[in-house]
Amino acid sequence: MPELPKNETGPDAMARSRPDTDPADVHYSTAIERRLIALEEKASYGEDLVDALNATVARQQQQIESLAREIARLRQQLGELAERSATGDPGDEVPPHY
């Protein structure tokens, strides 16, 4: 490959240094490379976003499971309180002197 003069760089200079290369092809290739880079950046951003969303969903699932356990515990307590009040358990009644 012939050497480029020191002050010539870029696609046009590259095309002139290779007689079998059309400058339009070099510009087309450069445009494709820019588009490819942009797509790679978007794909990378998409992967990062998916990872962040997966972490959020996992955290929310843990919160849902914790809340479901808390609801089950509260239902059990409510059932026990209802049984005690139905049987007339005096343990929860306020003494008459209050």
Q: Is the pLDDT of residue 1 over 50?
A: no
Query: Per the domain annotation, does 5 fall within a domain?
Result: no
Please write the tens of the pLDDT for every residue from 43-97: 999 999 999 999 999 999 999 999 999 999 999 999 999 888 877 656 656 667 7
Q: Under a CB-based contact definition with an 8 Å cutoff, are residues 81 and 93 in contact?
A: no
**Residue 6 confidence (pLDDT) above 90:** no
Six token digits for residue 77: 């307590």
Give Cβ neighbours of residue 8 (< 8 Å, ≥ 6 apart).
16
**Tokens standing for 76?**
């059990």
According to the model, what pLDDT value does residue 29 have?
A: 86
Residue 75 lies in a domain: yes
- Rounded to 5°, angle at Cα 18 from 16 and 21: 90
Alpha helices in the chain (DSSP H): 11-17, 23-87
Q: What pLDDT is recorded for position 10?
A: 52
Q: Does a structural domain hold residue 61? A: yes
C-beta separation of 7 from 13 below 8 A: no
Show the domain range for 46: 11-86
